[in-house]
Structure 1
Amino acid sequence: MLVLFGALLPALMFCALGGYALMQSRAQYEQRAELLTLNLATAIDHSVSVNVDKIDLALSSIVDHLEMQLATDRLDPRAANAHIRSQIAHHPELEGVRVTDARGIAVLGPGIEGQPPVDFSKREWFIAQRDHAEVGLYMSQPLVSKITGSWIL
């Protein structure tokens, strides 16, 4: 009996030590996964923030350009579209920019000329901008572009 107990005790201790080591290893891997997840979330947040800032600057440039033209009581669609295309070329984050009139009909931007009128008046972003001009940059939920048919923000 004593021999059986002498052989079983080291085996039980070995199993207990192995179980403890596995629990410690799992805890370390969970901590590492949490840290990696936090780092990834921080990197994504930074990347999105930088892109939103770039988009906001590009849109502000377009607005300034259009306001300067309107201050002279003359809107030059060719110059305005050229400026919009230039901003899109310099900022690959922008798939396309459209400018609407007060009713929500697209009047400037890629894919507008020579096409039937595109009405944005029911879009969440248009309503927010129309009703609260001071809101600045407004991002709606993802939606399907009326011009390209692709998903956009």
Structure 2
Amino acid sequence: MPSMQRLTRPFRSARTWIALGVLAPLGMVVVSGLMLLDLRQDAWDKAEQTSKNLLQVLERDIARNIEMYDLSLRAVVDNLKTPGLDQLSPALRQLVLFDRAATAQDLGVMLVLDENGDSIIDASTLSARKVNNADRAYFQAHKARSDLGLYISEPLVSRLTGTHIVVLSRRIDKPDGTFGGVVLGTLKLSFFTHLFDRIGLGRDGAINLYLRDGTRVMRHPYAVPDIGVNIAGGPNFARFAGSRSGSFVGPSARDGVERFYTFMQVGDLPMILNVA
């Protein structure tokens, strides 16, 4: 019996070393895998924080400029109620209506349209340039709803200048509360391209600005076919619209490339920014 124990002892020892020889590499693989996962998570965390910082810079700039322009529109709506405005000379009327109008390189025209959609007052000239915008969605929206507030249009081509724009507009009411027309200001899409061009995201990075209905206002890198596309039916936009801000990984609706998305709403405006 003792001799049998002496024979099995080396056998057990060999099995132990074999087991250790197998388990040790497996352990190293597991440890390496955990380290890689930790490094990957750290990379995602850094990417998320960087994206959030970029979004905050862009969001503040867009919100501030649109709010400043909206203040100009509000001032026109209020100043149109000035007693005796119709009796003033065209030059003095311009001063009364547009003394607080915002001015900047990428701001376009500012017009007052009557209830038929015809331009009757133009901030740029004493005699209004003639255009009718009764068929535009923003005009129809204000005509249908008195409580709409600021309306931001889909990307359009200006009928006066031929430039690519979005229209910011507010309703004008007659003294009896019925629809009296629209005051509008245009913001050139070049405002967004200049803003986004300052951000370096690398070859596969992208910045998108959407309206809340899913219409793309701007994309960087810029390409004309991307502008005005609506992605409301896609899973990514459902997540954008579902909360004020967040992050997730998903395939691009444009090119199918899987990207890390960080998004946020632009202040209280009906707009959503994302960095991918």
Shift, 1:77, TM fit: 2.9
| Residue 147 (structure 1) aligns with | 160
Counterpart position of 2:52: 38
Partner of 2:67: 53
SS in 2 for 1:51: helix
C-alpha RMSD of the superposition: 3.2
> For the Cα contact (< 8 Å) 2:111–2:121, is it kept in 1?
yes
Q: Which runs of 5+ in 1 are unaligned?
A: none
Q: Which moved more, 1:129-138 or 1:80-89?
A: 80-89
Distance 1:112 1:128, change over 3 A: farther
Letter of the structure 2 residue corresponding to residue 32 of structure 1: K
Query: Aligned partner of 1:125: which letter?
Result: Y
AA of the residue aligned to 2:149: G
- The structure in which a higher percent of residues are strand is 2
Given the alignment of the two structures, is residue 23 of structure 1 paired with residue 37 of structure 2, yes or no?
Answer: yes
> How far apart are 1:13 and its partner, in Å?
4.3
Please list the CA deviations of residues 3-57 of structure 1 after superposition, one character each: whole Å capped at 9, or x if unmatched. 9987776555444433322211001111222233333334433333322221121
Q: 1:147 to 1:88 in 2, by over 3 A?
A: farther
Q: CA deviation at 1:129?
A: 2.2
Q: Which has the higher contact order (CA 8 A, sep 6+)?
A: 2
Shift in CA distance, 57/51, structure 1 to aligned 2, threshold 3 Å: same
1:55-113: CA deviations, max 9, x gaps?
A: 12111122223321xx2142543334455386243x55632211112211112223684
Unaligned runs of 5+ in 2: 1-13, 167-276
TM superposition score normalised by structure 2: 0.44
In 1, are the aligned partners of 2:118 and 2:132 still within 8 Å (CA)? Answer: yes
CA distance in 2, matches of 1:79, 1:125: 29
Aligned position for 2:133: 120
| TM-score scaled by length of structure 1 | 0.73
4+ runs deviating over 6 angstroms: 1-9
1:98 partner SS: strand
The whole-number CA distance in structure 1 between the counterparts of 2:154 and 2:148 is 16
